[in-house]
Amino acid sequence: MSQAAATGAPRVLATTTGTHARILGIGAYRPRRLVPNSEVVDAIDSSDEWIQQRSGIRTRRFAEPDESVQMMSVAAAREALAHARIDARQIDAVVVATVSHLMQTPAIAPAIATELGCEEPAAFDISAACAGFSHGVTLAADMVRGGSARHVLVIGVERLTDILDATDRGTAFIFADGAGAAVVGPSEVPAIGPVVWGSDGEQFDLIRQREDWRDVMASPTPITPHLTMQGAAVFRWASFTMAKIGLQALDRAGITVDDLDCFVPHQANMRITDAMARAMKLPDSVRIARDVADQGNTSAASVPLALARLYEDGDARSGDVALLIAFGAGLAYAAQVVVLP
Ligand code: COA
């Protein structure tokens, strides 16, 4: 037995920092090709009017062949690093939230980190679908506070068109492609509030890959696994449950809706955003992200893309207090209050 064990002293040293965490920079990459409703309606026997009325979506962006998960991630990350004034070599960890990196292993994060010029950071992917970016920010804040990394790059990226069935009336007009990123680093004051997160596996089937890989491999004829969604049930869950989660995140951060400058919900559907804003009784002064109208639902990329759009439109400023809330397949959700960089 070692002397430390014999005396009851700790046998390993713990990391402690005493520091807080904040988002230092935000970046976005929107694919070049703008796709209006008129381009998707024929395959699903729909109309521009129906899509706008039910979802608020007018256009979305679909990635072209060169706009890969890696390419879009690197572009968004470079913008976030520049905004944060952090060199890639200062990044200690890269966390990539995605469900559309179509290789079971390895994760895409190490390849992205290497292309960015990071120096052997921890790099891994997480799978929490549309809630992925907010899960990544939560992990990053805890890593910075806990001392396992000083600067963390969080990326939310999707090329959902690779797994979309263009003839599926419930998904083809909703989902789209893009990437968003944030650099999380140390702060002298708290600037990322406590997370409220969770999951409900009872509703595992509501949004899912239709055929699992075993079905694909066993099929005598080639099949491509596609994303499928029970839209009405997801709509009910998101509209009624997520407002409560948002209010809990405000409460845990010690603020009320009156202290809020911006509301950045996952860009699932304009009607869900409106229902949440009503249920939370957000004052008119709160600027609400409505990026879904032009961007569609980009899953893990939607919150950082929506946040970037608020900056581009002059609706977000450094020092603003924003509520981020993301939710989707799992079902999984995460919400936190942040001070904007
Ligand atoms: N175009 C035109 N008509 C459509 C359609 C489409 N793409 N999809 C369904 N319809 C029709 C149905 O046939 C049905 O017609 P009927 O009343 O004559 O039978 C009617 O519209 C209602 O169908 P329903 O499936 O109940 O639609 P809905 O009102 O639930 O709207 C969504 C569908 C997908 C827009 C809605 O459920 C939704 O937004 N869900 C949330 C999705 C979401 O945001 N997911 C992201 C979470 S991460």
Tens place of pLDDT per residue across the chain (341 aa):
666 667 778 788 777 788 999 999 999 999 999 999 999 999 999 999 999 999 999 999 999 999 999 999 999 999 999 999 999 999 999 999 999 999 999 999 999 999 999 999 999 999 999 999 999 999 999 999 999 999 999 999 999 999 999 999 999 999 999 999 999 999 999 999 999 999 999 999 999 999 888 999 999 998 888 999 999 999 999 988 999 999 999 999 999 999 999 999 999 999 999 999 999 999 999 999 999 999 999 999 999 999 999 999 999 999 999 999 999 999 999 999 999 99
Q: Does residue 13 fall inside a structural domain?
A: no
Same-domain status, 213 and 158: no
Residue nearest to atom 12 of ligand 1 (CA): 169
Same-domain status, 37 and 137: yes
Same-domain status, 141 and 76: yes
Q: CA-CA distance, 328 to 300, in Å (whole number)?
A: 9
Any atom of ligand 1 within 6 Å of the Cβ of 263:
no
Write the CB contacts of 316 (distance below 8 Å, at least 6 apart in sequence). 261, 262, 287, 307, 310, 322, 340
Predicted local confidence at residue 7, as pLDDT: 79
Same-domain status, 79 and 217: no
Predicted local confidence at residue 327, as pLDDT: 96
Same-domain status, 261 and 136: no
Number of domains in the chain: 2
Domain closes at, from 165, 187, 209: 187
Q: Does residue 249 fall inside a structural domain?
A: yes
Domain closes at, from 187, 211, 235: 187
Instruction: Report the phi/psi class of residue 40: left, alpha or beta, with left for phi > 0 and alpha for psi in -120 to 50.
Output: alpha
| Residue of 184, 132, 190 whose CA lies nearest to 157 | 132
Residue 292 CA from chain centroid, whole number:
13
Bridge partners, 21 (sequence order): 186
**pTM as predicted:** 0.95
Same-domain status, 213 and 178: no
| Residue of 265, 45, 268 whose CA lies nearest to 166 | 45
Any atom of ligand 1 within 6 Å of the Cβ of 171:
no
Q: Does residue 40 fall inside a structural domain?
A: yes
Q: Identify the helix (H) or strand (E) that includes residue 29.
A: strand 20-29
What atom of ligand 1 comes closest to residue 234's alpha carbon? 41
Predicted local confidence at residue 4, as pLDDT: 62
Q: Does residue 14 fall inside a structural domain?
A: no
Q: CA-CA distance, 206 to 29, in Å (whole number)?
A: 28
- Kindly list the distances between the CA atom of residue 319 and the CA atoms of 24, 107, 141, 190, 291, in Å, as whole numbers in the listed order: 11, 34, 18, 12, 21
Q: Identify the helix (H) or strand (E) that includes residue 179.
A: strand 177-187
Predicted local confidence at residue 230, as pLDDT: 95
Q: CA-CA distance, 253 to 339, in Å (whole number)?
A: 11
Residue nearest to atom 45 of ligand 1 (CA): 268
Predicted local confidence at residue 15, as pLDDT: 75
Q: CA-CA distance, 20 to 144, in Å (whole number)?
A: 7
Determine whether 266 is an active site residue.
Answer: yes
Query: Which residue has tokens 């805890």?
Result: 142
Q: CA-CA distance, 130 to 136, in Å (whole number)?
A: 11
Set 37, 83, 118, 130: catalytic member:
130
Pocket test for ligand 1, best of 169, 240, 333 (most atoms within 8 A of CB): 169
Predicted local confidence at residue 5, as pLDDT: 66
CATH code for position 127? 3.40.47.10
Determine whether 135 is an active site residue.
Answer: no
Any atom of ligand 1 within 6 Å of the Cβ of 330:
no
Q: Does residue 11 fall inside a structural domain?
A: no
Q: Does residue 4 fall inside a structural domain?
A: no
Domain closes at, from 187, 211, 231: 187
Domain that holds residue 298: 196-339
Query: Which residue has tokens 């997801």?
Result: 234
